[in-house]
């Protein structure tokens, strides 16, 4: 078993994880823009041959510190390259770097090449050649935080190049993104149920061809003539030929049974001809009907009453003017509504605004990247609603009590929410013991309300079926009282099992909504994680950070999605540093900062354990925000317990604090006791808990604690760091 890493466009990680599990990989876990997995060489070959979503499959060869070019050179030379590359063969190097002293990827690639060539030359005078197009092996080098990972690229070239594309349109859709769209739209299930596939703006035919190959069980890599392992010294030719024979047999069987249910059209006759040639090259042209036709005339083929309309309209980025795009999307929405009743639809829109122009209600939204462009995939159920909606069942006595309480809460809070401009708030928090949940409202920047319902642990004496019924009643009543449709209600449920009650498997939709707080914008995800990306009970704590940040260098430890860093930047911080161990949260943090116009070297994002960062960093900060978890047992850091370790943590922060600096310390452990006896020897401490609890959390005054810590005045006179503006 060897470790591997499959790369993919952002937004496809969870789909790729499931695909690799189906292929037979083990130890599968998603990361940012890729998935780690383990397996035999056969599993790696299968990933290259069968993955519809991966971009590359990397086999790590070595990992080492590379603080300078000499260290990089030595680390690469320590690899025995004769095990991978023949002396007369060719190779190429792909390099990348992030948060490292070596900042130029081209230079990194050059030093790697020199190290490989010199190893061969020193041995017998021979040296391998360079081929950047189709080398015998391709070496991948990535530096992150001065740590180099050297891998063998088994794909050799991006796996989205299936080998059938003869020509493409002006704005081609990558094949792996097309496959992700089809999977998100549930095309395999729809084909199995007898459905058709139709693209009214088919361009070069990518969606239709991927849909046909998927339905026919044709391996996406079957037509590729080149892989990065074909010239590898450890390539198992017999194993690979066996896998190819199996794939060819499956393709022959699948194509014999493929139905002619693929329909495409485009207003540009040149694109129709392009699609025909590509379909011919892919071996599926005989199953296609392709015509030149305007979008306004798109309609279901005769005799087919069920299927999927899927399309990738232009976004106004490359193919047309942005101002004209809403008209096109409105026409698409009108056409779908008028002619495709009973079908499903999936549209890759340039952004949410273009999607909204269709005036259709999306049941799902997924953030996907088409190259560097962030887009949104919208899926729709076009089934006609009953003319007369069914009369809802009457509420139970308990549900009626819940409704009364919610209406009372909303009435009590509404005016103050409007007066203070609060768009995200808690409306219910286990007010009635029988209905054990918290209900939060998230108003997006488009004016739509979303609900986040989080179930609390039900008492042991409450049967599981009763708890489930009450949770359904909570969702129904909250939706009615707050005017939120079911599709905009996210529910986090608890399951009972070994170890007690815990939250069950969460969704992996990658759906983000944009919300506003105090004039700032943040991305929130209500479905994929236990928390949403914005802690509502810390609203006033973030406001305090904003108030204190002016003219200071700001440090945010356990930064999560860096919402406090955004507030500090908006408050006039000279610069911000956000530290978190999770690459996922740091990517989210980056998007939050960029959404508010804060980017560049003044806003650092550091992937570190907080205590490790404080030990390594030599900066000094005028404002430090510390909001640690109750406990952490991450494999990448020492175990952390906020009650046990908070003194150690705050003392480490003190070493990085300027003379007149402030530490804002908070946590959500309700039984937490601040060790004032110890800490007051070094800090002046202000308990700011009561002022930090928002009015909509008044019923939970213990939801968090918050303290402001400053150096004792006796210390301030001897601190050499005499300005809150000093960092280095």
Fold matches, 2-153 and 535-716: no
Q: What are the residues whose beta carbons fall under 8 Å from the beta carbon of 177, sequence distance 6 or more?
A: 9, 12, 160, 348, 368, 369, 370
717 against 444, higher pLDDT: 444
Q: Worst-scoring range by mean pLDDT, 248-257, 411-420, 485-494?
A: 485-494
Band of residue 325 on the pLDDT scale cut at 50, 70, 90: confident
Q: What is the pLDDT of residue 420?
A: 92
What is the C-alpha to C-alpha distance for residues 358 and 331, in angstroms, rounded to an integer? 7
The structural domains of the chain, with segments of one domain joined by +, span 2-153, 175-216+259-381, 397-503, 535-716
Q: What is the pLDDT of residue 391?
A: 64
Question: Each residue of 387-441: pLDDT tens digit?
Answer: 444 566 789 999 999 999 999 999 999 999 989 999 999 999 999 988 999 999 9
What is the C-alpha to C-alpha distance for residues 711 and 438, in angstroms, rounded to an integer? 38
The total number of residues written for the chain in this structure? 728
Q: Angle CA(100)–CA(101)–CA(103) in degrees, nearest 5?
A: 80
Calculate mean pLDDT across residues 368-385: 82
Q: Strand, coil or helix: what is 513?
A: strand
Question: Each residue of 526-539: pLDDT tens digit?
Answer: 988 889 999 999 99
pLDDT beyond 70 at 499: no
What percentage of residues in the chain have a pLDDT greater than 70? 92
Contact criterion met (CB below 8 Å) for 89 and 70: no
pLDDT beyond 70 at 708: yes
Band of residue 713 on the pLDDT scale cut at 50, 70, 90: confident
Q: Angle CA(491)–CA(496)–CA(502) in degrees, nearest 5?
A: 60
Q: What is the pLDDT of residue 323?
A: 67
Question: At the fourth CATH level, which superfamily is domain 175-216+259-381?
Answer: Vaccinia Virus protein VP39 (3.40.50.150)
| Residue corresponding to tokens 């990658």 | 510
Question: Each residue of 339-375: pLDDT tens digit?
Answer: 999 999 999 998 878 888 898 988 888 888 887 778 8
What would the DSSP string read from start to end of 241-262?
A: HHHHHHHHHHHHHHHHT--S-E
Question: Each residue of 133-190: pLDDT tens digit?
Answer: 999 999 999 998 899 999 999 999 999 999 998 755 455 789 999 999 999 999 999 9
Contact criterion met (CB below 8 Å) for 345 and 310: yes
Band of residue 635 on the pLDDT scale cut at 50, 70, 90: low
Q: What is the pLDDT of residue 500?
A: 45
Band of residue 547 on the pLDDT scale cut at 50, 70, 90: very high
What is the C-alpha to C-alpha distance for residues 279 and 285, in angstroms, rounded to an integer? 5
Fold of 2-153: VC0802-like (3.30.2130)
What percentage of residues in the chain have a pLDDT greater than 90? 75
Q: What is the pLDDT of residue 636?
A: 59
Fold of 535-716: Rossmann fold (3.40.50)
> What is the chain's mean pLDDT, rounded?
90
Band of residue 11 on the pLDDT scale cut at 50, 70, 90: confident
What is the C-alpha to C-alpha distance for residues 300 and 362, in angstroms, rounded to an integer? 20
Q: What is the pLDDT of residue 316?
A: 66
* CA pseudo-torsion sign 66, 69, 75, 80: positive
Q: What is the pLDDT of residue 497?
A: 43
Q: What is the pLDDT of residue 508?
A: 65
* CA pseudo-torsion sign 244, 250, 256, 259: negative
Calculate mean pLDDT across residues 503-515: 72
CATH class of the 397-503 domain in this structure:
alpha beta
Q: What is the pLDDT of residue 637?
A: 61
Q: What is the pLDDT of residue 715?
A: 60
Question: Each residue of 111-144: pLDDT tens digit?
Answer: 999 999 999 999 888 899 999 999 999 999 999 8
Q: What is the pLDDT of residue 387?
A: 42
Q: Strand, coil or helix: what is 38?
A: strand
Contact criterion met (CB below 8 Å) for 519 and 597: no
What is the C-alpha to C-alpha distance for residues 150 and 488, in angstroms, rounded to an integer? 44
Q: What is the pLDDT of residue 187?
A: 97
Question: Each residue of 572-596: pLDDT tens digit?
Answer: 999 999 999 999 999 999 999 999 9
| Residue corresponding to tokens 């006609």 | 384
Of 13, 38, 52, 315, the residue nearest 175 (C-alpha): 52
What are the phi and psi torsion angles at 412 (to 5°)?
A: -70, -35
Q: Strand, coil or helix: what is 720?
A: coil
Calculate mean pLDDT across residues 219-224: 96
Band of residue 244 on the pLDDT scale cut at 50, 70, 90: very high
Question: Each residue of 81-112: pLDDT tens digit?
Answer: 999 999 999 999 999 998 899 999 999 999 99
* Surface-to-core class of residue 681, CB atoms within 10 Å of its CB (0-12 exposed, 13-18 middle, 19+ buried): exposed
What would the DSSP string read from start to end of 316-366?
A: SSSSS-GGGHHHHHHHHHHHHHHH-TT-EEEEEESSHHHHHTT----SEEE
Q: Strand, coil or helix: what is 117?
A: helix
Whole-angstrom CA distances from 132 to 113, 156, 608 are: 12, 10, 35
Contact criterion met (CB below 8 Å) for 297 and 200: no
Whole-angstrom CA distances from 562 to 11, 345, 486, 606 are: 20, 36, 30, 11
| Residue corresponding to tokens 């994680």 | 529
Band of residue 511 on the pLDDT scale cut at 50, 70, 90: confident
Band of residue 386 on the pLDDT scale cut at 50, 70, 90: very low
Q: What is the pLDDT of residue 501?
A: 45
Instruction: Categorise residue 460: left if φ over 0, alpha if ψ from -120 to 50, beta otherwise.
Output: alpha
């Amino acid at each position: 078993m060897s470790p591997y890493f499959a790369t993919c466009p952002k937004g496809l990680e969870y789909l790729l994880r499931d695909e690799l599990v189906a292929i037979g990989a083990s130890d599968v876990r998603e990361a940012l823009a890729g998935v780690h997995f383990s397996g035999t060489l056969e599993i790696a070959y299968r990933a290259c041959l069968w993955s519809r979503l991966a971009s590359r499959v990397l086999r790590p060869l070595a990992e080492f510190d590379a603080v300078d070019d000499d260290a990089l050179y030595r680390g690469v030379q320590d690899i025995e390259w004769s095990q991978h590359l023949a002396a007369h063969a060719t190779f190429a190097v792909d390099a990348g770097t992030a948060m490292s002293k070596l900042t130029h990827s081209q230079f990194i690639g050059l030093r790697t090449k020199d190290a490989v060539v010199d190893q061969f030359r020193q041995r017998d005078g021979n040296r391998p050649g360079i081929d950047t197009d189709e080398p015998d092996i391709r070496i991948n080098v990535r530096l992150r935080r001065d740590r180099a990972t050297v891998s063998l690229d088994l794909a050799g070239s991006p796996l989205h190049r299936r080998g059938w594309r003869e020509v493409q349109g002006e704005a081609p859709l990558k094949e792996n993104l097309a496959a992700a769209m089809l999977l998100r739209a549930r095309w395999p299930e729809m084909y199995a149920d007898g459905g058709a596939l139709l693209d009214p703006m088919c361009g070069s035919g990518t969606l239709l061809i991927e849909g046909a190959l998927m339905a026919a069980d044709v391996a996406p890599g079957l037509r590729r003539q080149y892989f990065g392992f074909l010239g590898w010294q450890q390539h198992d030719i017999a194993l690979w030929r066996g896998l190819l024979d199996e794939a060819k047999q499956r393709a022959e069987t699948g194509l014999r049974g493929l139905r002619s249910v693929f329909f495409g059209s485009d207003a540009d006759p040149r694109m129709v001809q392009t699609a025909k040639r590509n379909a011919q090259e892919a071996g599926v042209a005989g199953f296609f009907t392709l015509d030149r036709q305007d979008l306004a005339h798109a309609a279901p083929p005769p005799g087919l009453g069920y299927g999927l309309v899927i399309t990738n309209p232009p976004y106004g980025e490359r193919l047309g003017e942005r101002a004209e795009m809403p008209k096109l999307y409105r026409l698409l929405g009108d056409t779908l509504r008028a002619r495709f009743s009973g079908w499903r639809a999936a549209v890759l829109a340039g952004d949410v605004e273009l999607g909204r122009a269709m005036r259709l209600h999306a049941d799902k939204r997924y953030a996907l990247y088409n190259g560097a462009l962030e887009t949104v995939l919208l899926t729709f159920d076009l089934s006609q609603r009953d003319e007369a909606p069914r009369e809802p069942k009457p509420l139970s006595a308990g549900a009626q009590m819940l409704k009364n309480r919610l209406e009372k809460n909303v009435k009590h809070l509404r005016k103050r929410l409007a007066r203070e401009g609060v768009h995200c708030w808690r409306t219910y928090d286990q007010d009635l013991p029988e209905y054990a949940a918290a209900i939060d409202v998230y108003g997006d920047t488009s004016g739509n309300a979303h609900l986040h319902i989080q179930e609390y642990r039900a008492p042991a004496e409450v049967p599981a079926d009763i708890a489930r019924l009450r949770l359904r009643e909570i969702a129904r009543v909250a939706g009615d009282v707050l005017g939120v449709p079911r599709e905009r209600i996210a529910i986090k449920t608890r399951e009972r099992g070994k170890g007690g009650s815990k939250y069950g498997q969460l969704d992996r939709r990658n759906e983000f909504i944009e919300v506003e707080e105090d004039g700032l914008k943040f991305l929130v995800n209500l479905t994929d994680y236990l928390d949403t990306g914005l802690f509502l009970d810390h609203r006033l704590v973030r406001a305090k950070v904003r108030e204190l940040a002016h003219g200071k260098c700001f440090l945010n430890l356990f930064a999560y999605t860096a919402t406090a860093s955004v507030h500090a930047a908006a408050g006039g911080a000279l610069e911000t540093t956000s530290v978190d161990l999770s690459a996922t949260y740091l990517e989210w943090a980056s998007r939050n900062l960029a959404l508010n116009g804060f980017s560049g070297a003044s806003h650092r994002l550091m992937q570190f354990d907080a205590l490790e960062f404080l030990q390594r960093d030599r900066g000094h900060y005028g404002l430090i925000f510390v909001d640690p978890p109750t406990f952490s047992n991450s494999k990448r850091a020492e175990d952390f317990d906020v009650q046990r370790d908070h003194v150690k943590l705050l003392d480490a922060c003190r070493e990085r604090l300027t003379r007149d600096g402030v530490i804002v310390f908070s946590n959500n452990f309700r039984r937490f006791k601040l060790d004032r006896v110890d800490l007051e020897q070094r800090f002046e401490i202000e308990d700011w808990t009561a002022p930090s609890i928002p009015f909509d959390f008044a019923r939970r005054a213990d939801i968090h604690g918050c303290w402001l810590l400053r150096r004792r005045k006796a210390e301030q006179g001897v601190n050499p760091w005499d300005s809150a503006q000093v960092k280095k």
